[in-house]
Amino acid sequence: MRLFRPVGAPEENDAALLRAVAAGDPAALARLYDRHAGWLQVRLSRRCADPETVGEVLQDTFVTVWRSAGAHRGGEAGGWLWTIAARRLVDASRARARAERYTPAPAPSAPSAEDHVLDALEYGDMGTALRQLGPELRDVLRATVVDGLTTREAAVLLGIPEGTVKSRARRARRELRAALARVAGRPGDPPPPITAPSPAPPRPLGDPA
């Protein structure tokens, strides 16, 4: 199982594997698992602190792939797989909510891959503005923008009411607009002036060197 998603892997390979899975080829599913399970597990672990739940969700994800590979209609296979995984995590969170077995993972001290995705949604001013948002607002953006979840699904995943998701989303948009205005209206700092060193004062005639 690869820990990270392969960079630059030909999309035709994933598409061919999915077609083979849809035709009932278990070996193709095994190869697809080997290629994608690692990075899916890493991303799931950033959203759920319970390794057992993460393992179950990962297994359920590929069970869903086995059953519905024929539903893939082209496009980037990794994104399709993550959509399935994110929704299986929502299902698991909902099932375990009353038993309180699901707890959100603590915010990492270093930027996660999703933080970099948020920062890279746009370069320049947008990335700068996004970094000014609080973590609770970034979490809502991560769930609704990066993961593509609905308000209800984001509420289950984050463990907050749907109304809170909506209010934080509105607040995030408002603060993002304000941050963009600050960034766009900030004048550039002029470079420090370059000055030549002052010449030493001339010595009076007759002074020793």
Reported as a single tens digit per residue, the pLDDT across 95-109 is 766 555 445 555 444
The overall average pLDDT reported for the chain is 75
Convert the pLDDT of each residue in 42-93 to its tens digit.
989 988 888 999 999 999 999 999 999 999 887 788 889 998 999 999 988 8
Specify the pLDDT at position 65. Answer: 95
pLDDT tier at 157, thresholds 50, 70, 90: confident
More confident residue, 46 or 199: 46
Domains within the chain, CATH numbers bracketed: 11-96 (1.10.1740.10), 113-185 (1.10.10.10)
> What's the predicted TM-score (pTM) here?
0.57
Cα–Cα distance for residue pair 88/75, rounded to 1 Å? 21
CA 98 to centroid of chain Cα atoms: 28
3-state helix, strand, coil in the chain (%, to 5): 60, 0, 40
Tokens 């297994």 found at:
59
